[in-house]
Structure 1
Amino acid sequence: MTRLTEIKYDKETKTYYFNHSGGFHPITKKRIQKKRKGIPILKDAKQLLKKIMIEVEEEKKTTFDLNMNFGKYAQKWFEDKTIRLRPSTIVNYREQFEYNIIPYLGKFKIKEINEAVLQEYVNRLARERNLSAATIRTAYGIVAEILKKVSKQSTFNYNVVNDVSRPVDNKIVRSWDEEDIRAFLNARNVLLNLTRNYIGLEIQIQTGIRMGEVLGLRWRDVNFEAKTITIRQTLAKINEKGSYGLVPEVKTHTSYRTISIPEMLCESLKNHKAMIEKEKRIVGNDYKNYDLIVCSKTGNWVHPNNYRRSFNVTRDALNLPKLRCHDLRHTHATFLIGILKFNPRIVQERLGHARITTTLKTYTHVLPAMDAEVSKKLDQSFGKV
């Protein structure tokens, strides 16, 4: 008797998820499992489960042709996957396919793809295109995902994917030190023509949230009594042309999160809200009431390019080291781990990383200082025993 798949509710993310077991594939003899998570509505979860159950049964009946052209299969794989991707992610995937995948692997038959072919592919991306390690790993990750699905439907040996050498991303995370942070947070007291977008920059450096998240943050997402903000909406690309708009969703299910904020940020938000309310009264019916914290004088959302420009002007006016706007996020995390000695797990939750390994890998440069602190505290505790 086949066991029914149960749709479960995640209280932390307030979304539904399931793990459907479709038995074993008749050709590959591999277990077929389909996991889905982060589904906001139960009705949608039921419909998705029904669709996947049908797909699994069709997959069992399909005889996979290893003579198929990789490019053709990859394009079909991409079309199917776009249903579950955010518009901004679709744009990134399409660029990877167009420039970094199809021109190199598109003409190969799937059965011809082996370790040597994949290694030469990686080498060419590094040698001919001079791409960064991160970009190469992203492109290869997509290829690996495609071949993993192939291996589930055929006798293709997926082990060849893991045997390929890929460049290591040695990029060093840049951040401000404690003195720089103090200078930046003191901007209201020293700069006369301070940008109205400074409130967003304050939020970022004190919470570590992403730029898209702060540009989508609304007043309804702020709880002044509990001193928290909740990430529910982002400003992101909404179509393949790269146009921006407000999206009622976040990057991953772990990006839905509630973050505590300090009293000083609460005070800044209250002052900014008073300014917004005054602008609403002046503009009247023409005001775009998106309820945004970072917005224009008429209530509209702020384009990322304009927001970055605001950061650059503020940074230079304060004579601070030249970091990117995104590095405010790194500065927050580095300060928490390296200076305040917070557990990386807490930092992971504030940043919205799906995996703790992402946090540890990104901020590995501050971990030795924590290790030295451990030895110091051990000496303090047991040095005189």
Structure 2
Amino acid sequence: MMTVIRKDMKTGKYFFVLDIGRDPMTGKRKQLKRRGFNSKREAKLALAKLQLEVSKEKELSLFKLPFQKYLSQWFEAKKIKLKPSTIQNYEEQIRYNIVPYIGDVRMDEFSESIIQTYIQKLHKGRKLSPATIRAAYGIVAEVLYKASQKGILNKSMLDDISLPRMPKKLRVWTADEMLLFLDAPRRVLNLTRHFIGFSISAQTGMRMGEVLGLRWSDIDFEGKRIFIRQTLSKIGEDSLYGFVDEGKTNAALRVVYVPDALLSSLRVHREHIIRERAVMADEYLPYDLVVCTKNGNWVHPNNFRRAFKVTVQQLGIPEIRLHDLRHTHATFLMENKVNPKIIQERLGHKNVTVTLNTYSHVLPSMQLEAAGTFDELFKSSDHSGDQ
């Protein structure tokens, strides 16, 4: 907002009020008023000098700002381009894995040693998984990098930070093991009612929260596709679960095309749900969920994971985590030469680089096949030269 120099009609003197924004420590708006100038020119010179002083003071105040204050300002701006479920993930990382450890560190106090000690506390003290530590550090590094662009600190301190290694090999099923798992309805006598959710994850690569938040209204049977409009996620500070919208417009939604076999299973499951709804009548909850309890309520992730583990044990196939169904889906597509860009879109990765890095274990065999393709080319070339 432009500062206007005005004349006090009672005294004949000039004055101005300079709005310097909100105090980064208190969040309160601050204004500076100066009066008593004999001419407008004199007031202009005083205003320019004060603006320069305020600018320098703001720079110094950023240097002294606690990290959690700077982080809070950065996060408010960042939220604009994040999905609701991602915002929830960021909030959990900030609340539990960042602020308790480095929230009070002043921006000008950061060093490679402080950051490395922070990583060690998460790794050896909290014993967090490498993926969780990397996610937390990713937020910290982005904030510090932004600060370095404003000259608050030197970004070179981030160059040699050591992070725990990620497991090199994902646990995935072979194609035969996957087929055996999907054939569970014919092989397991007391099959869990939640099996349809496992089947969805295996055949679409959807995340657990996306599967547990899936509604019948999100499925286009004619178009053979699923719209991911909401997820079941942790909400609030008490680790309670609830539904989070994933997008307000169709353009913002992820769309996953599904095979006919899955559509057939979904139709059978829908008939079962319709019968349950009729029996429960008014007691049936109106969530419209595909994976649900007998009264239509959402399924707790812990119960969903337990049911998956029991099913795998009943089938006698190698035990993997529920999330590994997603990895198995992606690996299967990679091995069958599906374009990585298509896999990225199905999985909802930020970009194709994430997809390629995550499933790099498939690439060596693809590299060998690529080399073999050239061998075949040269062989055919040799034969044509003999004729």
Cα distance in 2, alignment partners of residues 217 and 107 from structure 1: 41
Cα distance in 2, alignment partners of residues 243 and 195 from structure 1: 24
Cα drift, residue 181 of structure 1: 0.6
**1:246 alignment counterpart:** 243
Do the aligned residues in 2 keep the contact of 1:87 with 1:238 (CA within 8 Å)? no
Change (3 A) 1:60 1:330: farther
Do the aligned residues in 1 keep the contact of 2:68 with 2:99 (CA within 8 Å)? no
Query: For residues 97-145 of structure 1, what are the alpha-carbon distances to aligned partners after superposition, in whole Å with 9 as ceiling and x for unaligned?
Result: 5654445434543222233433444345445555443233223222223
Query: For residues 277-309 of structure 1, what are the alpha-carbon distances to aligned partners after superposition, in whole Å with 9 as ceiling and x for unaligned?
Result: 111221112221222111112111111111111
Match of 2:331 among 334, 344, 356: 334
Q: Which amino acid aligns with 1:114?
A: S
Do the aligned residues in 1 keep the contact of 2:173 with 2:328 (CA within 8 Å)? yes
Task: Using structure 1 for the length normalisation, give the TM-score.
Answer: 0.75
Flag structure 2 segments of 5+ consecutive residues without an equivalent.
1-53, 382-387
Do the aligned residues in 2 keep the contact of 1:87 with 1:239 (CA within 8 Å)? no
Q: Which amino acid aligns with 2:374?
A: L
Match of 2:352 among 328, 334, 356: 356
- Identity across matched positions, percent: 47
In the alignment, is residue 257 of structure 1 matched against residue 257 of structure 2?
no
**1:282 alignment counterpart:** 279
Question: Secondary structure of 1:284's partner?
Answer: helix
Cα distance in 2, alignment partners of residues 220 and 129 from structure 1: 41
Do the aligned residues in 1 keep the contact of 2:85 with 2:231 (CA within 8 Å)? no
- Where does 1:244-323 land on structure 2 (aligned, <5 Å)? 244-249=241-246, 256-323=253-320
Cα distance in 1, alignment partners of residues 261 and 96 from structure 2: 47
Do the aligned residues in 2 keep the contact of 1:255 with 1:352 (CA within 8 Å)? no
Change (3 A) 1:255 1:109: same
Do the aligned residues in 1 keep the contact of 2:84 with 2:244 (CA within 8 Å)? no
**1:366 alignment counterpart:** 362
Cα drift, residue 332 of structure 1: 0.5
Match of 2:110 among 109, 113, 117: 113
How many residue pairs get matched?
A: 325
**1:65 alignment counterpart:** 61
In the alignment, is residue 156 of structure 1 matched against residue 153 of structure 2?
yes
Change (3 A) 1:69 1:172: same
In the alignment, is residue 218 of structure 1 matched against residue 215 of structure 2?
yes
Q: Which amino acid aligns with 1:363?
A: Y
Q: Which amino acid aligns with 1:256?
A: L
Q: Using CA pairs under 8 Å that are at least 6 residues apart, name the structure with larger relative contact order, 1 or 2.
A: 1
Cα distance in 1, alignment partners of residues 90 and 179 from structure 2: 39
Change (3 A) 1:87 1:239: farther
Bigger Rg over Cα: 2
Two-structure CA RMSD over aligned residues (Å): 3.0
Change (3 A) 1:370 1:144: same
Cα drift, residue 87 of structure 1: 7.2
**Bigger shift: residues 94-103 or 364-373:** 94-103
**Bigger shift: residues 278-287 or 152-161:** 152-161
Cα distance in 2, alignment partners of residues 254 and 125 from structure 1: 38
In the alignment, is residue 380 of structure 1 matched against residue 354 of structure 2?
no
Query: For residues 34-66 of structure 1, what are the alpha-carbon distances to aligned partners after superposition, in whole Å with 9 as ceiling and x for unaligned?
Result: xxxxxxxxxxxxxxxxxxxxxxxx999943425
Task: Using structure 2 for the length normalisation, give the TM-score.
Answer: 0.74
Do the aligned residues in 2 keep the contact of 1:205 with 1:332 (CA within 8 Å)? yes
Q: Which amino acid aligns with 2:373?
A: K
Change (3 A) 1:59 1:189: farther
Cα drift, residue 159 of structure 1: 3.1
Cα drift, residue 155 of structure 1: 3.9
